Amino acid sequence: MRIDPIDLEPKQSLFRDYKNNYEKIADRFSFHPFEGATWESRFSRLKEQSYQREELADILKRMNDDWAAPEKTLENVEKLREEDSTVVIAGQQAGLLTGPLYSVHKIISVLQLAKEKENELHKPVIPVFWIAGEDHDFDEIHHVMMKKDDHMSKVTIDHVPETKASVSEIVMDKEKASEWLSDVFRMVKETEHTQDVYKEMERLLQESNTYSDFFAKVVYHLFPDEGLVLFDAHAPEVRKLESSYFTTMIEQNKEIAQGVYAVLQKNRQQGYEILLDSELEDAHLFYHRDGERILLMRDEEGRFRGKNNEVVLTKEELLQIAKQTPERLSNNVVTRPLMQESLFPVLAFIGGPGEINYWSALKPAFEAAGLCMPPVLPRLSFTLIDRKTGQDMEKFQIPPREAIAVGVSERKLNWISSMSAPPIRQLTEQVKMEIDRVHAPLRKKSESLGGDLKQLAEKNLEYLFNNIDFLDKRLHQSMEERYQKEMSQFDNINVTVHPGGGLQERMWSIVPWVNQYGVTLFQQMNRHHMSFQHDHYVVYL
C-alpha cells in the first residue's frame, strides 16, 4: 500500500476559502483550524466547562456493551470520566454497511487527529463517532452503490418503514436484509476473502435489531483495535441527559434562529453557496409523536407548531416536555452541533465540505446557547486505486489528479480519434473548414438577393455540418468497436476514480474493497500518518 497526497481544487467557494483564504471567513469560526496555538487555547476553554462525564460514560458503556465493542473502546469510555480528557468527534447517518466510503474516511480522520493531538497535549484525546440515529430520511441510507459494467448501480433493501420514524427506531426486517446482502455480494467477483466477509456481515446483520446497531457492529468489525467510541444520539437514555440542554435551546430559540439566518444572508451576499435551509421562524427542533418526527416552527404568537399544524405547543408546554419527557424531542442540523458541544468535551469537530459550509452559520447559535464553537477541521479525503486501474492509468499516461478531478472521458475521445491517420477529429474539422470556405460564395450571394435567402443559406451550412458530425460519430463508434479492450480500460478508470462525475468516496461502498483486500484494509490505511494540510490522498493497493 502506498498513500500519496494530491491537491484538488475544492468545488465549493466557501470551503475553498476555508482551506486557502481563511482570513476571509475567520469571523464565522472561533478557532483557526491550522494554527498550533489553537489546541492549547481550546483545551484551556474546555477546562472551564463542566460536563456530565460520569453519566455520559455510563451510557456509553451500556451502549457499546450492547454492540460487543472491542476492549480498547471500553477503555477509552472509562478515560472520558477523567476531567482532563477531551474528544475528537465526527458524525454520519447509519448507512448500510457504513454507506458511502466517506463514512469510513471520517472515522479514519477522527482516529488520526485524536492520536495526533493526544501526542501533542499529553492528555487523553478520545476518538468519537456520532451515529445520527435520530435522522428519519430512510431513503438516504437504504442502499449501497455497486459497480455494474461501466456504471454504478443502486442496490436497495426491500424495506419500507410504516412511519417516518428515526433510523434507530426502525427494526430491521432480517429476511429482507439478508436477501439484500446476498444481492450485494453477488455483484463482486469471488476472491479468497469473499466467503469470510459475507458470512461475517450476515452474522452481524442477524445480531442487530436496528440499522444503527448494524452500522455500529460493522464499524467495529472494520476497526477493532483503534479505541473508537461510537455513540447513538437517539438512545432514550441519552435524551434524559440532554433535558437541560433542550431547555436552553427552547429558551434561546429565537436568538438561535435569528443568528443563523443573519449569517446565511451574509454568506449569500458574499457569493457563497447556501447549503443550509434556515428561516427566521424555524425552531430547529423535532417533536416525536406516534412514531413520526415533526419539525417545529415558531409562529407569531410564540407557539411551536408543525409545518402542517400536526402539533401546536406553547413555549411552556415544550419546556415541560424537555424536562419530563425529553425523548420526545430531537435536534436538527442546526441544534445537533450545540447538543454535541453540551454533551462532550469537544477538542475538535471533523466535517466534510458540506458540513463546514453550514457550520459557517452556526457561531451565533453557539453563543446564544452559552457555548463556544470548537475548532472545525476538514475530514481526510481518499481515492482507492486497485492494481488493474493503476496499470490502466499508467498505460495511457493519465495523471491521478486529472482522473480523480475531471475523469477520463475527454482523454478517451482524444485517444480513439488519434488511432486513425489522420485523427478523426482533425479530419472532420478540416472538412468543416473546407465546406465553410466553398460554401461562402453561396451565403454571400444569398445575402445580396435579400429576403430569407441569407437565413436559408446559413441553415443549409448548419445542415451540412450536422451531417459531418453524424459521420464523425459513426467513425468513432467503428473505432471504439475495433479498440473495445482499450475503451473498457478507459471506462474502468472513470467508474473507479470519477464515478457519476464526482469523487469515488461519494458513491463506492466498502464492499468491493474488503472483498478484494480483506477487512483489515482500512486499519492498514489508518496506520499511515496523514496531515490535515493536504486536500486528498491517493491510496495505491
**pLDDT tens by residue, 254-288:** 999 999 999 999 999 999 999 999 999 999 999 99
**pLDDT tens by residue, 492-504:** 999 999 999 999 9
More confident residue, 183 or 418: 183
Report pLDDT for 416: 76
In the predicted model, what is the mean pLDDT of residues 352-359?
A: 95
Residue pointed to by grid coordinates 465546406 = 435
Report pLDDT for 40: 96
* Helices and strands, number each (H, E), in the chain: 23, 15
Mean pLDDT of the chain: 94
Q: How far is CA 75 from the centre of its chain?
A: 29
- Confidence band (pLDDT; 50, 70, 90) for 524? very high
Buried/exposed 494-510: b ≥16 CB within 10 Å, e otherwise: bbbbbbeeebbbebbbb
Report pLDDT for 541: 96
- Confidence band (pLDDT; 50, 70, 90) for 214? very high
69: left (phi over 0), alpha (psi -120 to 50) or beta: beta
Q: Is 460 helix (H, G, I), strand (E, B) or coil?
A: helix
**pLDDT tens by residue, 128-147:** 999 998 787 888 999 999 99
- Confidence band (pLDDT; 50, 70, 90) for 531? very high
C-alpha 73/C-alpha 77 separation (Å) is 6
Q: pTM of whole model > 0.75?
A: yes
In the predicted model, what is the mean pLDDT of residues 443-467?
A: 91
Domain ranges of the chain: 1-276+332-381+503-541, 389-419+484-500, 421-482
Answer whether 86's CB lies under 8 Å from 346's CB: yes
Is the confidence at residue 402, as pLDDT, over 90? yes
- Confidence band (pLDDT; 50, 70, 90) for 188? very high
**pLDDT tens by residue, 322-354:** 999 999 999 999 999 999 999 999 999 999 999
Q: Is 51 helix (H, G, I), strand (E, B) or coil?
A: coil
**pLDDT tens by residue, 370-391:** 999 999 999 999 999 999 999 9
Q: If we measure between CA atoms, which residue out of 499, 530, 540 comes closest to residue 101? A: 499
C-alpha 49/C-alpha 52 separation (Å) is 10
- Confidence band (pLDDT; 50, 70, 90) for 413? confident
Is the confidence at residue 476, as pLDDT, over 90? no
Which DSSP string corresponds to 338-392? HHHHHHS-EEEEEE-HHHHHHHTT-HHHHHHTT--PPPEEEPP-EEEE-HHHHHH
Report pLDDT for 199: 98
The CATH topology of domain 1-276+332-381+503-541 is Rossmann fold (3.40.50)
C-alpha 374/C-alpha 351 separation (Å) is 12
**pLDDT tens by residue, 86-123:** 999 999 999 999 999 999 999 999 999 999 999 999 99
Is the confidence at residue 151, as pLDDT, over 80? yes
Report pLDDT for 535: 82
More confident residue, 471 or 107: 107
The single-letter DSSP state of residue 126 is E
